[in-house]
């Protein structure tokens, strides 16, 4: 990697403290004070503090992925996604993924493991999103939706879903990132 | 696509109104009231209202991508990303991408076009992120950082960056989604 910019590089801001300016059911807004050690200035930046999230790549025995379609309040539109949700305090990401899959879709698999973890938005969110792979997923139990949830469950061949991630039918950036991480594992598995 | 859930599908909530509960330089927090037409209930949901963002896939004549590394206040860590930023009111996404590339890195290309647009988080954000492809990018002008910006610019071969997106060296979900959209174009171009 060539580095045309200055050799010293950007400094690490030092976090001095934070206070919450707004609190909601799914995130807090914090004003965080940082100190720049070279410029010798203090600055306040707004950060959204949220629990970690999980997104689930649930593969059926016939090579389909489990999908959910639901109304999303942020965009005021329906969105086609993989199952997922907020991880409870102290909950393991894989356990959370298995739970969200079961609650949202009624699908249960025979094995589950962590595929990868990403940052939804390092600039303004403090949390991570964990991608959980569930194999041999079949519809086994009844859905248990949270209050206000209403979810259309479907399955589609993995190759179709990958096309949809690249063609704009799937627009949720976290879902696209999850599918990119999943694709490598899927290709390796398909080559067996 | 098989549909094991109810045939009727989830209802579209009707947006009744909103008020801003917190306002920052980069986003507002809004409480939005929705009405469910079947359940006949009104509910308030929190939404983060932000301008659209742009992320730039800038390819150099020798097949490298332009990268930026900077300290991020959300995660309190450094992050390796592609250039990008907020789109100004009324600004075209491609124009914004070219501007952000020039300001953050000093790179200017010979052509620019929109690759794809995604939703950073349909559940809680109202905005979109536009991926802009800039070709024949070379370091031409001086950087013009915003107040508080401090950016280490580098370039790396496209194939290395794709590996980093899949291996965890790049963790920003929007950047990973942008690289997945870019990859198809890159492969087609490499095959010419």
Over the stretch B33-92, which tens digit does the pLDDT of each residue have? 999 999 999 999 999 999 999 999 999 999 999 999 999 999 999 999 999 999 999 999
Q: Flag whether pLDDT at B167 surpasses 50.
A: yes
CB-CB under 8 Å, A172 with B121: yes
A65 to chain B: nearest residue by CA? B1
Are the CB atoms for B94 and B132 separated by under 8 Å?
Answer: yes
Residues of B in contact with A34 (CB under 8 A): 73
A interface test, pick of B119, B141, B179 with most A CB neighbours within 10 Å: B119
Residue in A with minimal Cα distance to B162? A180
Which of A1, A71, A166 is the closest to B181 by Cβ? A166
Q: Which two tokens stand for residue B171?
A: 């963790």
Start and end residues for every CATH 3.90.79.10 domain found in chain B: 53-190
pTM for the full predicted model = 0.94
Q: What is the ipTM of this complex?
A: 0.94
Give the single-character DSSP code of A120: S
Residue A7 has pLDDT above 80, yes or no: no
Residue in B73, B119, B177 closest to A45 by CB: B73
What pLDDT, on the 0 to 100 scale, is given for residue A149? 83
What is the mean pLDDT of the segment spanning B120-143? Answer: 96
A73: Cβ contacts below 8 Å, ≥ 6 apart: B13, B32, B34, B45, B47, B123, B124
Query: Mean of the pLDDT values across residues A50-70?
Result: 97
- A53-190 placed in CATH 3.40.50.1820: no
Chain A partners of B117 at a C-beta cutoff of 8 Å?
A: 168, 171
pLDDT at A142: 87
Summarize the confidence of residues B161-177 as an average pLDDT: 97
The order of strands in the sheet holding B14-23 is B14-23, B28-36, B41-49
The pLDDT of residue B142: 87
Please give the pLDDT value at position A1. 40
**Chain B residues within 8 A of A78 when measuring between CB atoms:** 10, 12
Work out the pLDDT band at B2, boundaries 50, 70, 90. Answer: very low
> Distance (Å) from the C-alpha of residue A145 to the closest C-alpha of chain B?
12
- For residue A4, pLDDT over 70 is answered with no
* pLDDT of amino acid A73: 95
> Is B2 in Cβ contact with A122 (below 8 Å)?
no
Q: Quick: pLDDT tens for A84-115.
A: 999 999 999 999 999 999 999 999 999 999 99
CB A105 within 8 A of CB A58: yes
Question: How far is CA B87 from each of CA A69, A78, B91, B97, B112, rounded to the nearest angstrom?
Answer: 29, 24, 6, 8, 16
């Amino acid at each position: 990697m060539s580095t045309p910019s200055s050799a010293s590089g950007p400094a690490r801001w030092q976090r001095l403290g934070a206070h919450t300016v707004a609190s909601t059911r799914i995130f807090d807004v914090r004003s965080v004070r940082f100190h720049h050690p070279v410029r010798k200035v203090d600055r306040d930046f707004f950060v959204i503090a949220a629990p970690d999230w999980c997104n689930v790549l649930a593969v059926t025995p016939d090579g389909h992925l489990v999908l959910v379609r639901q109304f999303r309040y942020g965009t005021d539109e329906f969105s086609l996604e993989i199952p997922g949700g907020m991880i409870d305090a102290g909950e393991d990401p894989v356990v959370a993924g298995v739970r969200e899959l079961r609650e949202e879709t009624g699908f249960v698999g025979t094995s589950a493991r962590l595929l990868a973890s990403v940052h939804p938005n390092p600039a303004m969110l403090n949390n991570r999103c964990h991608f959980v792979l569930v194999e041999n997923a079949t519809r086994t139990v009844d859905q248990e939706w949270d209050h206000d949830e209403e979810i259309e469950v479907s399955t589609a061949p993995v190759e179709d879903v990958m096309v949809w991630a690249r063609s704009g039918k799937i627009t949720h950036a976290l879902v696209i990132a999850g599918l990119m991480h999943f694709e490598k594992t899927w290709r390796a598995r398909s080559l067996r």
